A and B are shown apart, each in its own frame.
Chain A
Amino acid sequence: MRAYLNYFKLRLITNLQYRSAALAGIFTQLFFAALYIMLYLALYESNTGVKAPMDWNSLVTYLWLQQAFFAITYPYLRDNELLSMIQNGNLAYELIRPQNFFLKFYIKMLAERVVATLLRCIPIIIIGMLLPYPYKLCLPPTLGNFLVFMGSLILSCLLVTALSLIVHIITMFTIDSRGITSAYMMIAEVFMGIVVPIPFFPLWMKKVSEYLPFRFIGDFPYRAYSGNIDIMEGKTLLIGSFIWMTLALIFGYLISKYALKKAVIQGG
């Protein structure tokens, strides 16, 4: 356990070196926050007669949080070290280490996400809160909402990292990873509400989203924050999120074991 914790710390420090990348990230995220808010504003303004699926404050807050915590919830952060390991034979080194392969890379990816988020989220949240009404990032209505939000965000980060690593492990052993990766990305992006929040979905797609883990990554935390999902429902969803996370971790652990058993070391 100590070894893993130390490795986590080490990765945190390594990732802190990429501060200029974070600055570019902040600009990108601010741009997209502004873009999406204006898009929805135009939709809301020109359809005053239609009952919108989310009230305006919840929606703006949702869009801001999505951009602020983009690095936590992004479904697939590419790790080239892991992907090229089969081709260049470095996998051999991993096999002789005493640490578990899955856990080690899980921690590496987790650290990457945590640092990327910490460097980006604060300026974005501050800017969002300072803006006037139609653009304002609101505070959560009660402390309870905030706690559910924090809990769900932590679970979301643990879950998405596991999923991302599983996709890496599956694609490590195929010739071309792009097909599987982009299929996963599409399903994940749509059903975690990156492009359109789930309340805007047609009914049948809402039903589908309830059976997938992705709503716990990008949709549940942000809606819990603004009270769009109330605290009672939030508590039940937290349990669901926890179950999905556990399942993903167990599945990832098993699949990595299986994959390593089958692995052929080539190159050197």
Chain B
Amino acid sequence: MVKLYINSFKNNIKIQLEYKASFIMNSISQLFVFFTYYFVIIALFNKFDNIKGFSVYEVLLCFSIIHFGFAFNETFFRGIDKFEDLVIDGSLDRFLVRPQGILFQVLCTKIDFVKIFRILQSLVVMIIALVNLDIHWNIGKVIVLILMMMASVLIFFGLFVLTASYCFITIQGLEVKNLFTDGGKNLAQYPISIYRKGIVIFFTFIIPYGFINYYPLLYFVDRTDNMLYMLSPLLVFIFLIPCLLSFKIGMKHYNSAGS
């Protein structure tokens, strides 16, 4: 299965490299988009020195983790984001007759290689934050950092699968879905404790952004030494269950729309 994915990965890169000028322009444009996000934080912290007690580097760490997860999904799991196209034109039918899992095949359809620049940029921001943060490294810190990055990838994957399963009902992409992915990404760039209670509860228990870059962050920057905070990113796995389940249910009731 991994081999298959690597094969389709290679093919996707080949396709994109066919148009070299386009590929280069596209890579440059990735820098611009990311810069606007980065600029907001730098400009605001130019005027203010903290946000609810969090320093600029703590916010940047928070920011880089959420962007890492999002960019990772955009690069390697792009197919699921564009799932509605497969449902609308009926090409999903072809997948049904092949001897591989549907979700796996969907992931293989599209890999947006230029988005890898966004992953790299988020890693650069992460390094900037880590260098400036004065962290007392130990094994726990390393684990929590890896867990945060993994959880960030998983939560967006879960959300993309969830919104994809919604296409089975509507047969079209839903604009509001961007609120949970894109909107959530914007919101979770900052430690969620800066928002009002209702938001914090929603993004802790319903869509668990808090377990990605807030609760574990507290452990990481020594605001708490509770081990539970360190392991909290693991809770994102629980969030994945209903997401995958809804996709399975949707698949069961799938009626082809195409010809």
Contacts and interface: CB of A to CB of B under 8 A. Distances in A.
Interface of A: 21, 24-25, 27-28, 31-32, 35, 38-39, 42-43, 45-47, 50, 52-53, 175-176, 178-183, 185-186, 189-190, 195-196, 200-202
Given A27-B176, A31-B183, A176-B21, A196 B50 contact: no
Contacts of B28: 179, 183
A196 B22 CA distance: 31
A63 to B, nearest CB: 13
Contact of A176 (B22, B178, B187, B190): B22
A42 B49 contact: no
B53 interface: yes
Given A32-B183, A42-B195, A47-B50, 14 more contacts: A27-B176, A28-B183, A35-B187, A39-B51, A39-B190, A45-B52, A46-B48, A46-B52, A47-B49, A178-B29, A179-B24, A179-B25, A185-B32, A195-B40
Contact of B25 (A47, A178, A189, A196): A178
Contacts of A185: 32-33
B48 A47 contact: yes
A32 B178 CA distance: 12
Contact of A38 (B33, B46, B196): B196
Interface in B204-226: none
B46 A46 contact: no
Contact of A39 (B33, B176, B194): B194
Contacts of B29: 178-179, 181-183
Contacts of B174: 24
A187 B35 CA distance: 10
13 contacts: A32-B186, A35-B183, A38-B196, A46-B51, A46-B52, A50-B47, A52-B47, A179-B24, A179-B25, A180-B25, A182-B32, A195-B40, A196-B40
